[in-house]
Chain A
Amino acid sequence: DTGVSQDPRHKITKRGQNVTFRCDPISEHNRLYWYRQTLGQGPEFLTYFQNEAQLEKSRLLSDRFSAERPKGSFSTLEIQRTEQGDSAMYLCAIQRHSRQTPGTGELFFGEGSRLTVL
């Protein structure tokens, strides 16, 4: 158990529909990341939050992608007007570190939400 729960695990949708993925970090953490992973590739950074602040969103793939994190708890990633090229695994990860426990910067990943756009 990595302390990160993602839902749904698999979403099949038709092109043009909107989809939303949810990430619930169960464990204490500082940062929450969203990555996309396509077949044969490593995780590709999309955006991240520090508490409820979204500190980097320029790497979101297009203006159809948006992420939110109300109240600094769970996070959602929405894709509007989905395209076949959006088919991928969407990974959420948390990073735990603080001044008291600097840690090593490792990420704890959820199992991902797989999107298939028909």
Chain B
Amino acid sequence: GEDVEQSLFLSVREGDSSVINCTYTDSSSTYLYWYKQEPGAGLQLLTYIFSNMDMKQDQRLTVLLNKKDKHLSLRIADTQTGDSAIYFCAEIPLLGGSYIPTFGRGTSLIVHP
């Protein structure tokens, strides 16, 4: 497909793990990103992974990359109510040479007690 694809919603209980999945388009993308958007705010980078890595861990966050399937996932351990937000997967496709950051539609994470 030509779009960065994500599921739209995820609902989890506080304390459980959350896994947000993404399929991207360009296997030559050097970096892949997860951005977080809280209500009424702009997007902020949450984490990123370099394309020669399979996994990156940063405190409660784990990013897994499957280059063969162009699949990226974000796992949030011990999810808290403060993690409720929209999470966007993004890539910078090298195809075409413009290197324009491209975003998915976002996954709305809802954390309930």
Q: Are B31 and A105 in contact (CB under 8 A)?
A: yes
Q: Are A45 and B102 in contact (CB under 8 A)?
A: yes
Interface string of B23-41 (1 = CB under 8 A from A): 0000000110101000011
A91 at the interface (CB under 8 A from B): yes
The closest CB in chain A to the CB of B106 belongs to: A42
The tally of residues in A whose CB lies under 8 Å from a CB in B reads 25
Q: Are B44 and A33 in contact (CB under 8 A)?
A: no
Q: Are A43 and B43 in contact (CB under 8 A)?
A: yes
Asked whether A91 and B100 contact (CB < 8 A) given A104-B48, A105-B31, A106-B48, the answer is no
Report A-chain residues with C-beta under 8 Å of the C-beta of B43: 43, 91, 93, 107, 109
Q: How far is the CA of A110 from the CA of B44 in the complex (A)?
A: 9
A85 at the interface (CB under 8 A from B): no
Q: Are B92 and A105 in contact (CB under 8 A)?
A: yes
A21 at the interface (CB under 8 A from B): no
Asked whether A106 and B45 contact (CB < 8 A) given A56-B98, A56-B100, the answer is yes
B4 at the interface (CB under 8 A from A): yes
Q: Are A40 and B42 in contact (CB under 8 A)?
A: no
The closest CB in chain A to the CB of B42 belongs to: A109
Interface string of A16-57 (1 = CB under 8 A from B): 000000000000000001010000111111001000000110
Query: Hey, which bits of chain B sit against chain A, CB under 8 A?
Result: 4, 8, 30-31, 33, 35, 40-45, 48, 50, 88, 92, 98-106
Query: Hey, which bits of chain A sit against chain B, CB under 8 A?
Result: 2, 4, 33, 35, 40-45, 48, 55-56, 91, 93, 95, 104-112
